């Protein structure tokens, strides 16, 4: 039986599959079908020639929820909240994204003001009823919502995390008077304090509930019509997967569903190569993702923002994304400067060289003109070099550069944008980028990875054999996982350890029940505890591991010491002068599943040079340079090569600039040693061909 992973991107839909019995592996890459992304998923399976009836597990990463939120392309939904809090999701925390920009605008709120309703009620911070719910007003609101025909409603009352009784009462009234309207409670979505994050997360869930239900229903129907009877799973933002039936009710956990697969592959890769600390980077047709992998796992954040001041307070892999990809469009700003992205040609119409109607110059067109892409993409499609030149020529004329220098300028600008994404995710977590290696994924990622590494002074780039379908591969490496959290505030010095044990046991029971619903046997369940902790008086928390089993006073010092360690790692400092408090308790309920076996091979200790399949001129640093071209499938462990070089894989292409070198390790990863910019320029000058080529 086959285990299949699919990643639906803005331009391409990627597939990786492996047969549990035979070990056979297959890949596929097709254009994403924007009108109905489920069609592209089916196309990928059919291209891989895998019978739907022979698929035991289908793991699916999708950006459908994210796109719906960013584009505001979801049905109108309502919010019911406490008097005085109608505008909380719009006012936010009154931060400014750009301190000195007087013209900045906040993004549109998830729910417009005309669909936000308030009523009298009040819970105290300790769960006591301060003001009873105004049931008459609640009935009026429910009838108004029903008359408006809204499909979903978010209910978010102040302090409901301490006592959800009023929210549940409101749900009962809505169920009675606003039939066919899905009701989402903030106390069940994320029972944590700070109402802004809790309200916006609840609004997000309500908004994309109809979108994701419709999408998953279409996908399940198409699969069932083709004989699929296996487990249909979707990737979660936290680095795990869950069943589609549960995902329909928890769409806020799918915001980073697509990029999560790439982080999973980087974690898998960190166990097979000599670099345990990796910066996962994934460059597709539309976006560039960057994140950190340490100790075999991706870092998680609870401070994710969909857009400025729209936080989603669920555990998510700490991934930073920018609008840079093979389809990123070049343009001239008002000051006459060349810019690239974030707008993308996507899959429809795509880059100009695709011949699908696109007329705007993109990164793919620039790479084709510079000789870095083979015009037939290994026989998969015919790229039109002349169309690419026609698209770039107006840009070149406007800025007064040659066509080639304009194309190379586009690449440099795009790589600088990518470098800023790496810088953001690494430095914000207190890490030094020089301590890491870049793991380069995506069809276009390895073409630019060395230039990004050079900009960030990162000495090593690792390109795995399945880089072009990395997120799809990573999907097959992901365990079933559920993150559960419960608000609980107490200074550690005086906390009742029996109470904490009881709360953890309740969370663990819920987690085991969710895993059982996903078909996980009890023997495959792993539970990991954590707590959100802070120094008393701080306004932010640090995720801290907590021991399993029964907790007693003997664990108190170890918990505090663990917090100091995590705080020091995240922020560079810790202190014994301040008391430590617990803010919330959480667990990871993990259901282990089989992963693709590691393909290790013996390395030929003799330093053998790889044999090139051919050569062609490639434009580097203002000069044409004769460049060796290699087939990635023929490179074996122990082989080495020097730049400039092009390595063409089935689903991606690697560019090794002049002055850099590479070798193949025991798991067929291409490990590239990156040189400095000065060294690259010196090499390019010495080995340049004539400009008239």
Condensed to tens digits (0 to 9), the pLDDT of residues 432-473 reads: 888 899 999 888 889 999 999 998 889 999 999 888 888 899
Residues 502, 392, single domain; the answer is: no
Q: Percentage of residues in the chain with pLDDT exceeding 90?
A: 49
Among 213, 240, 260, the domain boundary falls at 213
CATH code for the domain of 192:
3.40.1360
Q: Does residue 266 lie in a domain region?
A: no
Q: Say what the pTM is.
A: 0.84
pLDDT given at position 677: 52
User: CA quadruple 201, 206, 211, 216: dihedral positive or negative?
Assistant: positive
pLDDT in the model for residue 344: 81
Residue 607: the pLDDT is 58
Q: Give 538's contacts (C-beta < 8 A, 6+ positions apart).
A: none
Same domain, 580 and 618: no
The most distant pair of C-alpha atoms in the chain lies apart, rounded to whole Å, by 84
Do the domain assignments include residue 5?
Answer: no
Q: Please say if the pLDDT value at position 482 is more than 80.
A: yes
Average pLDDT for 397-421: 91
Report yes or no on 231 lying in a domain.
no
- Does residue 563 sit in the same domain as residue 631? no
* Cis status of the peptide bond prior to 70, with omega within 30 of 0: no
Q: What total of structural domains would you count in the chain?
A: 4
Q: Are residues 630 and 543 in the same domain?
A: no
386 or 379: which leads in pLDDT: 386
pLDDT at residue 533 tops 90: yes
Instruction: Mark whether 502 and 560 lie in a shared domain.
Output: yes
650 and 535 within one domain: no
Buried b (16+ CB within 10 A) or exposed e, 442-481: bbbbbbbbbbbbbbbebbbbbbbbbbbbbbbbbbbbbbbb
Which are the contacts of 304, defined by CB distance < 8 A and separation ≥ 6? 237, 255, 256, 311, 312, 313, 314, 316, 318
Compute the distance between CA of residue 572 and CA of residue 542 in angstroms, rounded to an integer: 13
How many CA atoms lie within 13 Å of 635's alpha carbon, on the beta-carbon side? 30
Nearest-angstrom CA–CA distance, 382 and 398 = 29
State the chain's mean pLDDT as an integer.
Answer: 88
Q: For residue 405, what pLDDT is reported? A: 93
Residues facing 655 on adjacent strands = 646
Beta carbons within 10 angstroms of residue 523's beta carbon = 6
Q: Which residue's structure tokens are 């549940």? A: 168
Distance from CA of residue 349 to its chain's centroid? 25
Give the residue among 620, 601, 629, 598 at the shortest CA–CA distance from 681.
620
**Which of 591, 621, 655 is at the close of a domain?**
591
Strand 25-31 and strand 580-591: the pairing is unpaired
- Residue 414's beta-bridge partner residues? none
| Adjacent-strand bridge partners of 317 | 300
| Domain identity same for 79 and 177 | yes
pLDDT for 377 beyond 90: no
Task: Find the helix or strand (DSSP H, E) in which 123 lies.
Answer: strand 122-123
Residue 691 pLDDT greater than 50, yes or no: no
- How far does CA 411 lie from the centroid of its chain? 23
Asked if omega into 349 is within 30° of 0 (cis), the reply is: yes
Spatial separation of the C-alpha atoms in residues 381 and 30, rounded to whole Å:
11
Q: What is the mean pLDDT of residues 329-334?
A: 90
Of these ranges, 170-174, 235-239, 323-327, 476-480, the one predicted with the greatest mean pLDDT is 170-174
CATH number (domain holding residue 539): 3.30.1490
**pLDDT at residue 513, as a whole number:** 93
Residue 543 to residues 30, 157, 290: CA-CA distances in angstroms?
39, 26, 21
Whether 331 contacts 131, CB under 8 Å: no
For range 582-606, the mean pLDDT: 81
Is residue 423, in this structure, part of any structural domain at all?
no
Can you tell me which residue has the tokens 């100091």?
564
Is residue 334 a part of any domain in this protein? yes
Residues 493 and 396 in one domain: no
Q: How far is CA 120 from CA 82, 131, 157, 176, in A?
A: 6, 7, 10, 20
Considering the domain architecture, whether residues 584 and 614 belong to the same structural domain is answered as no
Tell which phi-psi region holds residue 371, choosing left (phi > 0), alpha (psi between -120 and 50) or beta. left
In the prediction, which pLDDT does 307 show?
79
| Residues 47-89: tens digit of each pLDDT | 999 999 999 999 998 888 887 887 788 899 999 999 999 999 9
- Phi, then psi, of 270 in degrees rounded to 5: -65, -20
Residue 678 pLDDT class (50, 70, 90 cuts): very low
Tell me, rounded to whole angstroms, the distance of Cα 49 from its chain centroid: 28
Block residue for tokens 């689903």: 651
Residue 382 exposed, middle or buried by CB count within 10 Å (0-12, 13-18, 19+): exposed
pLDDT at 641 over 60: yes
Q: What is the pLDDT of residues 127-166, one digit of tens each?
A: 999 999 999 999 999 999 999 999 999 999 999 999 999 9
SS3 assignment, position 484: strand
Q: Hey, how many other C-beta atoms are within 10 angstroms of the C-beta on 485?
A: 21
The answer to whether 391 and 397 are in contact (CB under 8 A) is no
pLDDT in tens, 249-267: 899 999 888 888 889 999 9
Q: Tell me which residue of 347, 310, 234 sits closest to 69, measured CA to CA.
A: 310
Domain-located, residue 616:
yes
Residue of higher predicted confidence among 671 and 667: 671
Are residues 338 and 409 in contact, defined by beta-carbon separation less than 8 angstroms? yes
Tokens of 258: 């697509």
Residue 72: the pLDDT is 85
- Res. 680: pLDDT tops 50: no
Cα angle 175-176-182, degrees, rounded to a multiple of 5: 20
Residues 484 and 583 placed together within one structural domain of the fold = yes
Burial of 22-51, coded b for 16+ CB within 10 Å and e otherwise, reads eeeebbbbbbbbeeebbbbbbbbbeebebe
Question: Does residue 615 contact residue 627 with C-beta atoms inside 8 Å?
Answer: yes
**492 and 526: one domain?**
yes
pLDDT of res. 589? 94
| Structure-model confidence comparison of residues 69 and 583, the more confident one | 583
Domain assignment of residue 144, yes or no? yes
Higher-confidence residue of 96 and 397: namely 397
Task: Give the pLDDT confidence of 201-210 residue by residue, as tens digits.
Answer: 999 999 999 9
The stretch 503-521 carries a mean pLDDT of: 92
The burial of 130, by beta-carbon neighbours within 10 Å (0-12 exposed, 13-18 middle, 19 or more buried), is given as exposed
480: β partners: 241, 591
Average pLDDT for residues 654-667, to the nearest whole number? 89
Report d(CA 351, CA 364) in Å as an integer: 7
104 in the same domain as 207: yes
Strand 653-656: give its sheet, edge to edge: 614-620, 623-631, 645-648, 653-656
pLDDT tens-place string over residues 82-99: 999 999 999 888 777 778
Name the residue with tokens 């999907």.
475
- Region 521-527: what's the mean pLDDT? 91
Residue 85 lies in a domain: yes
| Structural domain for 125, as ranges | 74-213
Alpha carbon distance 577, 580 (integer Å): 10
Q: Residue 508 pLDDT > 60, yes or no?
A: yes
């Amino acid at each position: 039986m086959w285990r299949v992973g699919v990643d639906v991107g803005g331009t391409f839909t990627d597939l990786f599959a492996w047969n549990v019995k035979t070990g056979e592996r297959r890949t596929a890459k097709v254009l994403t079908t924007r009108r109905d992304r489920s069609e592209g998923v089916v196309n990928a399976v059919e291209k891989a020639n895998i019978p739907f009836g022979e698929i035991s597990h289908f793991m699916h990463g999708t950006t459908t929820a994210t796109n719906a939120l960013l584009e505001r392309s979801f049905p109108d939904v309502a919010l019911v909240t406490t008097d005085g809090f109608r505008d909380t999701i719009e006012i936010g925390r009154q931060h400014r994204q750009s301190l000195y920009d007087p013209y900045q605008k906040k993004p549109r709120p998830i729910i417009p003001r005309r669909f936000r309703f308030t009523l009298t009620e009040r819970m105290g911070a300790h769960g006591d009823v301060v003001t009873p719910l105004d049931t008459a007003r609640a009935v009026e609101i429910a009838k108004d919502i029903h008359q408006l025909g809204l499909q979903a409603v978010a209910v978010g009352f102040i302090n409901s995390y301490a006592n959800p009784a009023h929210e549940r009462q409101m749900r009962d009234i809505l169920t009675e008077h606003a039939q066919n309207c899905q009701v989402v409670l903030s106390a069940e979505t994320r029972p944590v304090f700070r109402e802004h994050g809790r309200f916006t997360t609840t609004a997000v869930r309500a908004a994309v509930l109809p979108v994701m239900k419709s999408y998953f229903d279409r996908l399940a129907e198409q699969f069932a019509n083709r004989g699929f009877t296996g487990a249909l799973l979707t990737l979660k933002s936290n680095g795990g997967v869950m069943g589609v039936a549960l995902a329909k009710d928890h769409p806020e956990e799918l915001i980073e569903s697509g990029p999560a697969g790439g982080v999973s592959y980087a974690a898998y890769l960190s166990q097979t190569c000599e670099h345990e600390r990796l910066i996962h980077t994934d460059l597709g047709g539309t976006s560039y993702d960057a994140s950190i992998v340490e100790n075999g796992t991706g870092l998680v954040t609870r401070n994710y923002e969909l857009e400025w001041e729209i936080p989603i307070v669920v555990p998510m892999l700490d991934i930073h994304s920018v609008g840079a990809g093979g389809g990123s469009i070049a343009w001239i700003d008002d000051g006459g400067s060349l810019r690239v992205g974030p707008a993308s040609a996507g899959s429809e119409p795509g880059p100009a060289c695709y011949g699908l109607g696109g007329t705007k110059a993109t990164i793919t067109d620039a790479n084709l003109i510079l000789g870095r892409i083979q015009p037939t993409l290994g026989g998969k499609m015919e790229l039109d070099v002349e169309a690419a030149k026609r698209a770039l020529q107006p840009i070149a004329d406007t800025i007064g550069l040659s066509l080639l220098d304009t194309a190379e300028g586009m690449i440099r600008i795009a790589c600088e944008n990518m470098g800023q994404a790496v810088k953001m995710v690494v430095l914000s977590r207190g890490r030094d980028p020089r301590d890491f290696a870049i793991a380069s994924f995506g069809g276009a990622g390895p073409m630019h990875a060395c230039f990004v590494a050079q900009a960030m002074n990162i000495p090593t780039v690792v390109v795995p054999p399945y880089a072009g379908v990395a997120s799809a591969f990573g999907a097959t490496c992901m365990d079933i996982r559920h993150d559960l959290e419960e608000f609980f505030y107490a200074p550690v010095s005086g906390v009742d350890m029996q109470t904490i044990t009881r709360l953890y046991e309740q969370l663990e029971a819920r987690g085991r029940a969710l895993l059982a619903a996903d078909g996980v046997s009890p023997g495959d369940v792993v539970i990991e505890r954590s707590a959100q902790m802070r120094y008393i008086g701080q306004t932010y928390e640090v995720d801290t591991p907590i021991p399993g089993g029964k907790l007693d006073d003997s664990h108190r010092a170890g918990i505090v010491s663990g917090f100091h360690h995590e705080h020091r790692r995240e922020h560079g400092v810790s202190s014994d002068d301040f008391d430590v408090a617990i803010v919330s308790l959480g667990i990871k309920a993990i259901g282990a599943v089989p992963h693709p076996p590691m393909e290790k091979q013996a390395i030929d200790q003799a330093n053998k040079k790889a044999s090139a399949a051919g050569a062609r001129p490639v434009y580097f640093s203002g000069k044409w340079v004769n460049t060796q071209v290699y087939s990635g499938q023929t490179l074996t462990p122990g082989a080495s090569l020097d730049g400039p070089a092009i390595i063409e894989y089935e689903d991606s292409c690697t560019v090794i600039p002049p002055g850099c070198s590479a070798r193949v390790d025991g798991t067929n990863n291409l490990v590239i040693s990156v040189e400095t910019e000065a060294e690259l320029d010196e090499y390019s000058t010495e080995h340049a061909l004539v400009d008239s080529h």
